[in-house]
Structures are given as structure tokens and as C-alpha cells.
């Protein structure tokens, strides 16, 4: 990492001007020397050159991870767990830098990137505990005893998106390392800045060289080479559904283990008997936090018709009061979208909503006080119907659709009228109905009278086109390990005797 004198608000550390790969404990350039420029989302100007890896760089990283694997997998769980705790300590020591760099690079409000930095340390602390508690099952019957041997799968390829880049990388790295796998991480090319801190973090913690490796670059080059590599038996991917589909077809050649955390278009269902103020707070936070660039965003708010007009009015009024501003300012609630390309894409959805006849009741344009940067005022569309693109497609920005429903069956029908199934939120004080609806919404996760708070032990993931497999707690360990069963006879086993004539 080469440093410059450019600084980010709030931290006493210069920005790098160059970000390289990290392979076998060393910072290295791409084999072919190639780089791409990286921009920040407020000035949209180039702040660093990012090494862009290809197949040769992935080969080097996989070789380093393969060399380190046997010793890492053979280390006692206690020792590995202690190293994970030390990684958490190092993240906490650097938390202000991580938060400020993340906010600078992604445009997320600093108050929210601070929360993500804290959560990243928590991911390592939690999986340090899981690591210390790894166990293997045994099955006993009268004549036979079977015991399970849990083996780490080997080198894991971790591919992460740009929306909460540091936190999502730790969400994969912590269980992967706890399970005894070694890592090749491919961070999102749009937001590599906080990933550039991982080498310092793992070195401070004392992780052996080669256990953690990172190759930067474009998805179609570095990412695709990682997925295609014969010596990488598992890929954990978070990103768009279409990218997930490409990865699945490429991984099929080696029958790889896949964990797919993909897109969403999650419903937030508000019944007339809900605690309306809380439901309103949750609906707003659910779609406008993290700039709406959130896989579990409640981007379709379904409201019972008897309270619909009042709810829409209140949402529009509150959305118009949300503080949109520079990501580094403490009071900012919505910051800048990650790139000009993504900004244009989100704006194109606003135009599509207007064209298709949805009623724009808040936002829809750049705020007047922010003439430059990728800023969009929190946008609320009412009277959105299921045929409209803004109801069907993931926008991944501060845009919410509001749709009325008539009764419980209608709410469930609308909630399920999507190809996605990641998260859902249900607000009602009728708990029988709340559970009934939660059981019928096709979704990997439902929050009932609650917003998106995670318990790290619970299964995380989606159904339909939102994903495959589950991460979280024991589910993550199961993904990164293979289970083998050893059967042992406790008595003389009766073995049928083939080839012996029965006189
Ligand atoms: P993306 O799919 O464009 O990119 C994600 C990562 O995949 C990047 O590192 C990219 O370089 C890499 N990639 C791209 N093409 C590849 C290929 N052919 N082979 C291998 N790797 C490739 O997604 P994004 O735009 O960075 O992120 C936004 C998306 O992520 C949204 O759809 C969002 O819903 C989803 N997401 C899902 C979750 C979840 O847990 N379900 C969490 C966060 C984000």
C-alpha cells in the first residue's frame, strides 16, 4: 500500500494511493502489473489505483493458501480461537479508521459505518467462541458405533459486494477461519479501501502467512478465476442474483460447495392493528438505512387499506425530513450512492416509477443543497402495483414502494409476488395472525414486530432467487467443513458370505 498525504475526515491516517494484493503474507502487484482507478462517491474523483488480478494472481494466492492449509487445519481449536479473538482486538483498535475509510469509500453515513465496524469485530469474537465449541457427533446402536469426523474443506474462495464491504468480508472470514479453512478473498472492486486494512489486522493478530490471502480486481477476471480454480472446493458469494447464477454454472465443472447470498425485494407488511409509530420507524429505517443499499431492505411496504392514506402521508413527511448529507457528518442519515453508474441506475428506476404511473410522494431527485456527488433524496412511491418494475426489481437505493392490501390473504399474495425471498417484516398486534403470516411468506428470514436485528447464531439466507444455503452460527461451520462417518462394529459383525456354497 503506497500512502499519500490525502486524509479522510476524523482519522489520523493517510489514504493509500495504491492498493495491492496480499498473498502469502506479502503485498504484491498483479503479475501483469495491471490496475484500475478507484473513485470516492462524493467527489467521484480517483483516489487510488487498485491492482487487478487475473488467473495468474489467483493461482499464486491459491498456492499460498494451499501451503498454509495443513498447519492451520491441524492447529488446536483453542489456538485458532485465540487468534480470532486477537483479530477482533485488532479490528477494535482500528475501528475509527475502518469506519471513516468505509464511509469515504462507499458513501455510507459515518454513524452507520461505525456500527458496521463494531459488528465486524463481533463476528470474529462470536466465531472464536463457536470454534472453541466445535464438536463431532457419535451414534451408538447395539452392534455398531459411528462417530463423525469433521474436516475443513480446504481453500475457500470468498467473494464480497460493495455495500458493506468490510463487515461482509468478516462475516465470511470469521467462520471460514474458525472451521480450519484458509482464505482467498476477492473484495468488490468499487470499494477496496477497508479491505486494504486486513493485512495489518491479521499480522497484528499473528495469523500465519498464507492463511489469509486477498486478490483484488474485476469480478469477470479475478472473481471468475477464483470460482474456476480446481483447488478451491468452496465458494461463499454475496452479490447480485445474476452474478450468482454465472458463478453456479462455472462452479458446476468442479461440483463446488456454494453458499449464495443474493438480492432481495423484501416486503414490510403493516396491518391496521399494528403499533403504527413503531411500524413507521421500522419501515423508514428498513429501507433508508445504509442508503437503501441493503440486501434485506424492506423496499416494498404493504399497508392495510384502512390505514393506507394516513401511513403514506406519514412516510412521505418523515422521508422528506431525513437528513441527507456528506457521509462523514455525524448527523447524516442518508449519504452518497456508491458510484455514478449505480446512481444513474437508481435514478432510472425513479423515472420508470413515474412513467408507469406510481404516485411520487417524496424525493425523486437530487437534494438542492447537494449539487454534486451521488445524492438522491429519500424517495417514496405510493399506489405501486405488482406489475410495475419498481415493485419487481431490486433497486438497491433509497427508494421505497408502498402498496395497499385488503386482508390477510391479499397481504400474503402481494408479499410473495416476487422472485426474491430474503427477508420480510410483519407488523401486527394480533400475534396469532403475525405467526400465521410469518409462516406463509416465502422468505428465509422474517422479523415480526421487530426490525432487522441479527442473532449471530441464527440461519441467515434466502429462498427463491435470493440465495442458496445458510450462513450463521453452526450453519457456517457446516458449510466450511465436510462430515465423514466412521462405523465401528462393537461385536462380531455378521457378514453375508458370498461365494461360499451352502451345504
Ligand atoms: P455483484 O454481483 O456485482 O458483485 C459482487 C462480487 O462479485 C464483487 O466482488 C464482484 O467483483 C464479483 N463478481 C462479479 N462478477 C463475477 C463473476 N462472473 N465471477 C465471480 N465474481 C464476480 O454485486 P454488487 O453490485 O457488488 O452487490 C450488490 C448486490 O449484492 C445486491 O444484489 C444485493 O442484494 C446483494 N447483497 C446480498 C446480500 C445477502 O446477504 N443476501 C448482502 C449484501 C448484498
pLDDT, tens only, 287-343:
999 999 999 999 999 999 999 999 999 999 999 999 999 999 999 999 999 999 999
Query: Domains in the chain, please, with CATH?
Result: 2-262+462-485 (3.40.605.10), 267-448 (3.40.309.10)
**Mean pLDDT for back-to-back runs of 10 residues, the chain (503 residues):** 66 94 98 97 96 98 99 97 98 98 98 98 97 93 95 98 98 98 98 98 98 98 98 98 98 97 98 98 98 98 98 98 98 98 98 98 98 98 98 98 98 98 98 98 98 92 97 95 96 90 71
For residue 238 and ligand 1, the question of a CB distance below 6 A is answered with yes
Distance CA 411, CA 61 (A): 49
Please give the Cα distance from 237 to 458 (Å, whole number).
Answer: 19
- Ligand 1: which residue has its CA nearest to atom 12? 219
Q: Which of 146, 64, 62, 230 is nearest to 490 (CA)?
A: 146
End-to-end Cα spacing for the chain:
81
Catalytic residue, candidates 102, 122, 221, 261: 261
- CB 51, CB 35: distance < 8 Å: yes
Task: Could you list the beta-strand ranges (E) of 143-193.
Answer: 144-152, 155-159, 182-186
**What pLDDT does residue 267 have?**
98
* 252 secondary structure, DSSP code: G
For residues 424 and 434, is the Cβ–Cβ distance under 8 A? no
DSSP class of residue 220 equals I
CB distance 261 to ligand 1 below 6 Å: yes
Whether 356 is a known active-site residue: answer no
**Sequence-ordered alpha helix ranges (H) in 146-235:** 165-179, 198-205, 224-228
Confidence at residue 5, expressed as pLDDT on a 0 to 100 scale: 53
pLDDT at site 57: 98
Tell me if 425 sits within 8 A of 268, measured CB to CB.
yes
Cβ(50) to ligand 1 under 6 A? no
pTM over 0.95: yes
The answer, yes or no, to whether any atom of ligand 1 lies below 6 A from the CB of 177, is no
Half-sphere exposure of 99 (CA within 13 A, CB side): 23
Quote the pLDDT of residue 2: 57
Q: What pLDDT is attached to residue 10?
A: 79
Strands (E), 246-378: 257-261, 267-270, 300-304, 359-362
Amino acid at each position: 500500500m503506497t500512502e499519500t498525504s490525502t486524509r479522510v475526515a476524523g482519522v489520523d491516517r493517510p489514504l493509500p494511493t495504491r492498493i495491492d494484493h496480499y498473498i502469502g503474507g506479502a503485498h504484491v502487484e498483479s503479475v501483469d502489473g495491471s490496475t484500475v482507478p478507484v473513485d470516492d462517491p462524493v467527489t467521484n474523483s480517483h483516489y487510488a489505483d487498485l491492482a487487478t488480478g487475473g488467473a495468474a494472481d489467483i493461482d499464486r494466492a491459491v498456492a499460498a493458501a494451499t501451503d498454509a492449509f495443513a498447519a492451520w487445519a491441524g492447529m488446536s481449536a483453542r489456538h485458532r480461537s485465540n487468534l480470532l479473538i486477537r483479530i477482533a482486538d485488532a479490528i477494535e483498535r482500528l475501528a475509527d479508521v475502518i469506519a471513516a475509510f468505509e464511509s469515504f469509500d462507499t458513501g455510507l453515513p459515518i454513524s452507520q459505518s461505525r456500527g458496521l465496524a463494531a459488528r465486524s469485530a463481533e463476528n470474529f469474537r462470536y466465531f472464536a467462541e463457536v470454534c472453541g465449541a466445535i464438536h463431532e457427533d457419535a451414534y451408538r446402536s447395539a452392534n455398531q458405533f459411528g462417530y463423525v469426523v469433521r474436516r475443513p474443506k480446504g481453500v475457500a474462495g470468498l467473494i464480497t459486494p460493495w455495500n458493506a464491504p468490510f463487515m461482509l468480508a468478516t462475516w465470511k472470514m470469521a467462520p471460514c477461519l474458525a472451521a480450519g479453512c484458509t482464505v482467498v478473498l476477492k473484495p468488490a472492486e468499487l470499494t477496496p479501501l477497508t479491505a486494504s486494512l486486513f493485512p495489518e489486522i491479521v499480522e497484528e493478530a499473528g495469523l500465519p502467512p498464507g492463511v489469509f490471502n486477498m486478490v483484488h480486481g474485476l469480478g469477470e477476471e479475478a472473481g471468475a478465476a477464483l470460482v474456476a480454480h480446481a483447488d478451491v472446493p468452496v465458494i461463499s458469494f454475496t452479490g447480485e442474483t445474476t452474478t450468482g447464477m454465472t458463478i453456479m454454472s462455472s462452479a458446476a465443472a468442479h461440483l463446488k460447495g456454494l453458499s449464495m447470498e443474493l438480492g432481495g425485494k423484501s416486503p414490510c407488511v403493516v396491518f391496521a392493528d399494528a403499533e403504527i409509530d413503531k411500524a413507521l420507524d421500522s419501515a423508514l429505517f428498513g429501507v433508508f438505512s445504509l442508503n437503501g443499499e441493503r440486501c434485506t431492505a424492506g423496499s416494498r411496504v404493504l399497508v392495510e387499506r384502512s390505514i393506507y392514506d394516513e401511513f403514506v402521508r406519514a412516510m412521505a413527511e418523515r422521508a422528506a425530513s431525513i437528513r441527507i448529507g456528506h457521509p462523514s457528518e455525524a448527523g447524516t442519515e442518508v449519504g452518497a450512492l456508491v458510484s455514478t453508474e449505480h446512481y444513474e441506475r437508481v435514478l432510472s428506476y425513479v423515472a420508470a416509477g413515474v412513467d408507469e404511473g406510481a404516485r411520487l410522494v417524496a424525493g425523486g431527485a437530487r437534494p438542492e443543497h447537494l449539487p454534486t456527488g451521488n445524492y438522491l433524496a429519500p424517495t417514496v412511491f405510493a399506489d405501486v402495483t405488482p406489475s410495475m418494475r419498481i415493485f419487481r426489481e431490486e433497486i438497491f437505493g433509497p427508494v421505497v414502494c408502498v402498496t395497499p392490501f385488503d386482508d390477510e390473504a391479499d397481504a400474503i399474495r402481494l408479499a410473495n409476488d416476487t422472485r426474491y425471498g430474503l427477508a420480510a417484516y410483519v407488523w401486527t398486534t394480533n400475534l396469532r395472525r403475525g405467526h400465521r403470516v410469518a409462516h406463509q411468506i416465502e422468505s428465509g428470514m422474517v422479523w415480526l414486530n421487530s426490525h432487522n436485528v441479527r442473532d449471530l447464531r441464527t440461519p441467515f439466507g434466502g429462498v427463491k432467487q435470493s440465495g442458496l444455503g445458510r450462513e450463521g452460527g453452526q450453519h457456517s461451520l457446516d458449510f466450511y467443513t465436510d462430515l465423514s462417518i466412521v462405523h465401528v462394529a462393537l461385536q462380531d459383525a455378521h457378514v453375508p458370505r458370498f461365494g461360499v456354497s451352502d451345504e
